[in-house]
Structure formats: structure tokens, C-alpha cells
Structure 1
């Protein structure tokens, strides 16, 4: 899923009350949404590894700003992935089944399931919905014909396996949603066949509650700084990147409170699930500064 960065200064907004979701549109055109305290989530990247060590910088004046806010506005027009010639739902399902079989035979799935059975299920989280962000297109070609269908299919198989796992251990199966600007018509058909509803941005953000499971296989973020950027502009851009990283560290620091975490073994197939962390709310960690990390 493509990622973008804003280029305008933000107008300071008072944060919304915690555990409530709401949308704010500021004068500079950014739309913001207050974040709720998610019960259970998987994130592709551990934020601590991407902030240059700034996770331990609470004295930075930018550290404690906007902790309950997140950007949800896309600054580009999303384009559905190109559907290859001869593609069909039957072929897509065959591809998915092969990916699902490889996933279910992996050590990553075995460790995830064991962690769920021995640690997460004891918390009685009662997940009401499962939401996937950043899956990309499991059936189409993206960005100048780039083919990442294998990666996306493995990630989809992982997401569906967790939905099924939750359904088997709860009285009420959770609803399932996926949001990705590159979904094409065939992707919608495949997801519907798997009982996953594809929704358009920003609908999925509004679905997150304290009883949600969120899956973000493509949540990493990178800033590109051109080498030929003039000195003053480069310095300003680097400072903005630093402030964003520090604020992100503050958000993650608050997110970890009262949660346990576990790093899954790497999946080993096309980097589909590499450096994956699992987080869940834990009654035993209430009031702790950080959740346990394995």
C-alpha cells in the first residue's frame, strides 16, 4: 500500500477525549481522527526500530504532542491495481489456497497459534471485529506492473487464519473488514468469498474500538530526502522528520502501556511477514509502563 507524508505545517488541535473516535478537519486541509485503545493488533514493524532510538526521549518538547491523533487523509488519488490478462476468481482462490497451506505449515503460524492459546485467550478479549490495513492487491499488479501478489496472498492467509481462530473460541464470530486503495474488482470478489468486507478509506478507521483486532502488514513508513535538496530546505525537512519520529515514539510509548507483546518468527516467504510484532491488552500489565516483550 502506498504511503505518503504531509508537506504542510499542522495547525495545533486540542486532542479529543481518549477512547472516543472523532474527526477533525483543520485549516491546513488535514483530516485527523482520535485513536482508541485497541485490544489486539499485529504490526509489520516495531516502531521502536524505526525512530532512531528516539523512543526513550520523553524530555523532547515534541514527545508529548498529539498523542491521540493520527492522520487519515490521502494526498493522492488511489488507483486500483491492474488485473492481469486471464485472471479469474477461480485462479485467485487457487493461489490463495496454496498460500494458506504454506502459511499453516510454517513455524510463524505455529508460534502465533501457541501464543494465542497460552497467553492471549486467557485475557477473554471478546473481539467484535477484525480490520486489515495496507494489504495491497492480492490479485493485481501495482506500480508499473510490480507483482507482489504472493506477498499479499500470504498476508491475507495470515489475517484470515486469525479471524478463524477467534471465531472458534468466541460465542460470536467477529466481523471482518479490509481497507486498501489498490483493491480492484477481483480483490473485492476474493475478499467477499472469504467473508471479508472491503471498505473504502477512511471507513475502516471509524470501525476501530477497544474490542478490535487490527492487522497492519504494510504499516512501515519511510521519508525520502533528495540529495540535491538545498541546504535550508533539507534542514527544515530533516527537522520535520525528527519531530514526526519523536511524536511517533510518544504515541507508541502510550500504546504499549497495559499491553503484552511478542515478536513472531519471520515467515521466510518473500518478506511477507518480516519483523512482525503482536500486541494485546493484558490485565496483568495494567498500570505498567510497558508491556512485556518477548
Structure 2
């Protein structure tokens, strides 16, 4: 006779945590164990909303950031190969072509470009592309780039590709200003592979809060992912140039006052990964006092 009254033994399995990651095509992968389903992300505003939700303070406390976890089989050589691909796409884009032209036209004064120096021996020595004295920039400080190699646990959006493209922009803009300008980068999520990659590119990784002591009125501040509360702190040091934003309409008097005294160039949409430079501008201090704001019709509104 069957034992119909026997109670089922309670399951001892621990529910697996579900994780969401977004790939380069805009798909969100929702995974638990080996099962993955794909859901298409909607609009750009939804993506931004998800990222902002992920980095909000929890229970009124600052979130604790730790180095991002890179895939176990990823090597420095593999990471460098990935970065070269991203850099090539950035360099071949209309976004960089337009920005580079604006940098030369609006910021790098031809009268201050280094001329060929005729040597007594008849050799010609090429100078740097530009003279940083005109730009009043003696260093670049990058804050909050994110990890190019790893992603954070607990449902964080996978921003590795975004970090790669922003790193390519950091390298390109810095080189356009001067070939020898020192570059510093700070983010608590940088891991060992990230540090090795930056080192191979001549970028020095620093720990919090070293960046705040490095920013001066002669600094290019590169911070495309900075939050409002961090911008309010960073901009008090009055950097000469800022890559990030937008700084307008932030409901912050500190940020607005800084934006009002700067000229700016708005990047046109980067079609390969539009959210990598969403409404990003390059702000700079115009020596003649006329504040110009480049809003080409081909750019997004």
C-alpha cells in the first residue's frame, strides 16, 4: 500500500543568484548556473537608468568597490589584443576624426606648434605636435574609467567594452595635446591586468585619493563616467580641460559655474557604442575669453 501521508523532504538547495550582464550588442544576459536567456535592452535612457541604479548608495551608505574580476584565462597579451581592436574602431570613427579636427582648429594654436629645427649637421628634428604652454596643460588625470578586463559581481552592467573605448579616447586626446604629457588613472575597480595594460601604454595607476591632490589649473581631467557628487569635488580644483559631462543643467551651482566659464566641443555620436560617449563634451579654457560651444548639426540633440 502506498504511503500517501509521507511528507516530502524539504529541499536543501540554495537558490542561485541571478546575474545580468550586457554585451556589446545591447543584449542583457540573465544567468543562473549554466542557464542563460537573452533579453534586448530597450532605449539608451533605460541603459543609463540601469547603470545609475547599480551604483546608487545602498541604505544611505557609500558602496564598497573592489577590483573587478577578469576571466580566468585572460592574459595581458589577450587584453592588449582586445584593446588594439577597440582603439582601431575608435581611431577609424567619424567621432574621433571630428574631435581631432576641432582640437587642432579650436585649441592647438598653429602659432605655437613646434617647427622643424635645422641641426648643424643638416639633420631635421621633429618637435612635438603642440606646445602645452598654450593649452596650460601639464598632466592628464583620469578618474572612474572602469575596468577594461573584468566585471563586477552582483548584477552590475558589463562595461568592459565602454572602458576600452574610453581608454582609447584618453590616449588619443592626450597624444594630440602632447606626446610626452604624463597620464594618471584612478579607479578602485582596477585589477592586476588593468594595471599591466595601463603600464604598457605609459599610464600610471594611482590609488584613491591621490587624484585629488594631482588636479590643478594645468590639468586635463578625463572623467566621462563621473557622478554629480564627484564632479562637484573635482571641479573645485579648476582644471584647464575636462573630458566628460555634460556639465550643463545638473542643478549644481558648482558645476554650472565651472561650465559657464569654459568653451566646449560636443562629440558626435559614436555609432559603434553610443553609450560609451553619451552626450560627452570636451571643455577647455579659451585664452581670449570668448566662450565657444561647438554644437554641429550632425551631432545628436
User: What TM-score does the superposition give when structure 1 sets the normalisation length?
Assistant: 0.62
**Corresponding residue of 2:34:** none
Relative to 1, partners in 2 of residues 1:109 and 1:293: Cα closer, same or farther, differing over 3 Å? closer
Q: Which residue of 2 aligns with 1:163?
A: 174
- Cα distance change of structure 1 residues 165 and 269 upon mapping to structure 2, 3 Å threshold: same
Q: Which residue of 2 aligns with 1:90?
A: 77
Taking a change above 3 Å as real, the CA distance of residues 255 and 291 of structure 1, as seen in their structure-2 partners, is farther
Q: Which residue of 2 aligns with 1:48?
A: none
- Find the partner of 1:273 among 270, 274, 277: 277
1:198 corresponds in structure 2 to 205
Moved more, 140-149 or 254-263: 140-149
Q: Deviations over 1:27-52 (max 9, x none)?
A: xxxxxxxxxxxxxxxxxxxxxxxxxx
- Whether 2:138 is the aligned partner of 1:135: answer no
Check conservation: 1:88, 1:186, Cα contact below 8 A: yes
Pick aligned residue for 1:260 from 257, 260, 263 = 263
Q: TM-score, normalised by structure 2?
A: 0.60
5+ residue gaps in structure 2?
Answer: 1-50, 110-132, 230-247, 296-301
Q: 1:91 to 1:6 in 2, by over 3 A?
A: closer
Match of 1:104 in 2: 91
- SS of alignment partner, residue 135 of structure 2: coil
Query: Relative to structure 1, is the Cα distance of residues 87 and 196 closer, same or farther in structure 2, using a 3 angstrom cutoff?
Result: same
CA contact (8 A) 1:103 1:158 kept: yes
**1:151 aligns to 2:152 (yes or no):** no
Change over 3 Å in CA distance of 1:125–1:204 after alignment to 2? same
Shift of 1:212: 0.6
Counterpart secondary structure, 2:293? coil
Alignment RMSD (CA, Å): 2.7
For the pair shown, the structure with the greater C-alpha radius of gyration is 2
Alpha-carbon distance, 1:158 to partner: 0.6
Q: In the TM superposition, what is the alpha-carbon distance from 1:147 to its structure 2 partner?
A: 2.7
Counterpart among 263, 269, 284 of residue 288 in structure 2: 284
Report what 2:215 is aligned to: 208
Contact 1:260-1:282 at 8 Å conserved across structures: yes
- Say whether the 8 Å CA contact 2:249–2:256 is kept in structure 1: no
Matched, 1:181 2:191: no
Cα drift, residue 273 of structure 1 = 1.4
Using CA pairs under 8 Å that are at least 6 residues apart, name the structure with larger relative contact order, 1 or 2: 1
State the alpha-carbon separation in 1 of the partners of residues 78 and 158 from structure 2: 16
Number of residue pairs matched by the alignment: 200
Listed as ranges, the gaps of 5+ residues in structure 1 are 9-73, 223-244
1:35-74 alignment, distance < 5 Å: none
